[in-house]
Amino acid sequence: MPEKVVALTQEISQLTSRGTKDIHEVTRRTKTIAINAMIEASRIGALGKGFAVVAQEIHTISEQITTIADGLQNRLSTRVGDLAAHGNDLVRQIRGTRLVDLASNMIDIVDRNLYERSCDVRWWATDAAVVEAAEQPSPETTRYAAQRLGVILGAYTVYLDLWIVNLSGRVVATGRQSRYPAALSQDVSHTSWFQDAINAKGTDAYAVADIVHEPTFSSTVATYAAPIRTEDGRTVGVLGIFFDWAAQSRTVVDSVRLAPEEKAKTRCMILDSKYRVIASTQGEGVLTEVYPLKNEEKASGSYTDGAGRVVGFFRTVGYETYKGLGWYGVIVQQLSSASSIAPAPPSAIQAIGSKPLALAA
């Protein structure tokens, strides 16, 4: 561990201090003996003159030893202080570089997951049963489409549900009607994911919303959507897919490779483009905290915050055709072993509105 450099420096400083203290104690006792000897020599007169000279010399030597010890301590203190400062800088640099690497790996895992979500929604929107249910909704077409969605959900367990929505924004079929009965016939025309998908251009178009707590599922979700189109290119509806963000993102932040002694003093987070916490170790501050990230317009880097914690961050670079949403992987670690990382203090946390957001991973 890089902290051992600083620990050894502190140990040297303590040893130097104790050694100087011991020297001072010995010289103090020596000077006391010398003074007592001079007093006794003076009392016995001429017979004690020789002894007085010796006592005076001992006293002088003791003074010199004290001066040398003080000078040595001052010089060592200065150099040990410089070494400690350089050691602390080295620790923060090494620690910061490592945290940036961990943050990069964390956001890369998220990017790869989000890329798959964007592929899934575009692929499933072309399913014949999905197209027919959106274009010509009837008890037969919607029932068959719901069965198809159920089969997909059985194979892709990371999703909470899949919805087929008609042009007016009404949900006409879902993959888990028995589990989430409130979803059917729900009006989602006001949502950003529906509006973005219905107006999307291009054959590979899709839409994504910010992370939000979805009441229908009583869970935090990442929502992706794609226009449902007929063979001749007409848009007849929208397919919305709801990724179980709460469970999947928690796995990502909790799986960061930290040494056992680091876990209690480290907080791993995923922030959206507005620095809102959308995933965090032990669920701290999710959707309620805006983290005061000091990235200085940089894509990656590290710094020491006002509380002495090292902060490493890395902004998404996307994956293949997925360009990323400007999210950050962030890891905050306390260098001292005494305290653990808590959410940013209230003064650094901004209140945020209740506007829903959603994503995928």
With pLDDT > 90 as the criterion, what percentage of the chain qualifies? 59
Residue 350 reports pLDDT greater than 60: no
**Lowest-pLDDT range, 106-110, 217-221, 246-250, 320-324?**
320-324
Q: Which fold has domain 116-247?
A: Beta-Lactamase (3.30.450)
Q: How far is CA 361 from CA 133, 224, 307, 348, in A?
A: 27, 10, 32, 28
With pLDDT > 70 as the criterion, what percentage of the chain qualifies? 84
Homologous superfamily assigned to 3-91: Methyl-accepting chemotaxis protein (1.10.287.950)
Which is more confidently placed, 34 or 140?
140
Cα(208)–Cα(119) distance, integer angstroms: 12
Structure tokens at 33: 């003996």
Cα(16)–Cα(79) distance, integer angstroms: 12
| Tens-place pLDDT, residues 223-277 | 999 999 999 999 999 999 999 999 999 999 999 999 888 899 999 999 999 999 9
Q: Where are the domains of the chain?
A: 3-91, 116-247
For range 102-118, the mean pLDDT: 94
Structure tokens at 221: 């979700």
| Tens-place pLDDT, residues 28-76 | 777 787 787 778 778 777 766 676 677 677 778 777 777 877 777 777 7
Strand partners, 173: 164
Confidence at 5, pLDDT banded by 50, 70, 90: low
Helix ranges (H only) for 126-285 are 128-135, 139-155, 192-198, 245-254, 260-263
For range 342-358, the mean pLDDT: 40
- pLDDT recorded at residue 159: 97
- Planar angle of CA 349, 288, 222, nearest 5 degrees: 135
DSSP strands (E only) in the chain: 159-166, 171-174, 207-208, 212-214, 219-229, 235-243, 266-271, 277-280, 300-304, 309-315, 328-334
